[in-house]
Amino acid sequence: MRYHAHERLVAPARASAALPRLVGGFVLLVPLFLGLSFGYAALLPVIFGPETWAQIQPGIAAATTPAGVLINLLAFALLIVALAVILLIVHRRGLASLIGPLPLALRQFGRALAAMLLLYGAVMLIPMPEGVAPEPNLKPGIWMLFLLPALFALFCQVFAEELIFRGYLQSQLAARFASPLVWLVLPSVGFALLHFNAMSYGGTAWLVVLWAGAFGLVAADLTARFGTLGPATALHLINNFSAILIAAPEGQFDGMALYVYPFGMDDTAMITAMMPVDLLILICGWLAIRVALHG
């Protein structure tokens, strides 16, 4: 298929499409983001004070408390800052050029978001088998108290990843290579490998990579098909909202979840059984957004 709408994102990348610039951009992006992250980590104890920080800190590593989830997700705002700096220095382009025309991106985001909400609303009505059904976790009152900052932090995380992989990497590669096999697949592989975590996921680590790769391809296709980051961001936001704020695996990033599944991400049997369902929901989300945007 020909992705004519993708030209909106590719055109701003052509002036700096040389591969050394892209490689140089990533080489500079990583230490800049790490430097900002170290500064962020050093600043947090000062902001909260020694006593409060001592109470908060144990829940940060695995994000098992609301504060731990927020602190982890807000770190992605620093990735957006780092990317904006690299774009100006290396590519002489602004962050907005990765998004597409803003009014169009917002319209597409809204329609795609509505489609995803309808899909996930229908999915949540399907009863789950015994032993798999999630159990209550965070009290509703506490969940509501943290909901607005959690939505902001979650959007930072989702938007940062979409800017990096579907905005920056995909558009720069598409400006250099004509074949979608390059600019659809390579960013998706990078996105997938970013999710490899053998320490936390154990034997399921490569299953998570497989799912993330499939997600990357779907998000890349939506971005190229509709010419803005709006649809992929909506898909990503609802997926992560469901996985982080509604029902999360036990013991890993479950601090803001209303419910937890009675198994962890390292439970090979359960994750293997759930994977086909998750892939089916992903495909349904891709189709729902395409129908909503008539593409």
Rounded to whole angstroms, the Cα distance separating 16 from 176 reads: 9
Residue 130: the pLDDT is 73
Please compute the mean of the pLDDT values over residues 262-278 and round it to a whole number. Answer: 90
Lookup: tokens for 212: 């993330």
Confidence of residue 198 (pLDDT cuts 50, 70, 90): confident
As a whole-number percent, the residues of the chain with pLDDT over 90 amount to: 87
Lookup: tokens for 200: 């936390």
* Long-range CB contacts (within 8 A, 24+) of 42-45: 44/71
Rounded to 5 degrees, φ, ψ at 195 are -90, 5
Residue 15's contacts (CB-CB under 8 Å, 6 or more residues apart) are: 91, 92, 93
Confidence of residue 203 (pLDDT cuts 50, 70, 90): confident
Confidence of residue 194 (pLDDT cuts 50, 70, 90): very high
Q: Is the pLDDT of residue 125 over 90?
A: no
Q: Which of 25-29, 127-131, 158-162, 171-175 has the lowest mean pLDDT?
A: 127-131
Please compute the mean of the pLDDT values over residues 254-283 and round it to a whole number. Answer: 93
Rounded to whole angstroms, the Cα distance separating 76 from 186 reads: 22
Cross-strand partners of 136: 259
Q: Is the pLDDT of residue 1 over 80?
A: no
- Give the angle 140-142-145 at the CA atoms, nearest 5°: 110
What mean pLDDT is reported for the chain?
95
Q: Is the pLDDT of residue 129 over 80?
A: no
Residue 62: the pLDDT is 87
Residue 158: the pLDDT is 98
Residue 251: the pLDDT is 86
Q: Which of 75-84, 108-117, 123-132, 217-226 has the lowest mean pLDDT?
A: 123-132
Q: Is the pLDDT of residue 237 over 80?
A: yes
Q: Is the pLDDT of residue 230 over 90?
A: yes
Please compute the mean of the pLDDT values over residues 32-60 and round it to a whole number. Answer: 94
Q: Is the pLDDT of residue 124 over 90?
A: no
Please compute the mean of the pLDDT values over residues 45-71 and round it to a whole number. Answer: 93
* pLDDT tens for each residue of 139-183: 999 999 999 999 999 999 999 999 999 999 999 999 999 999 999
Confidence of residue 280 (pLDDT cuts 50, 70, 90): very high
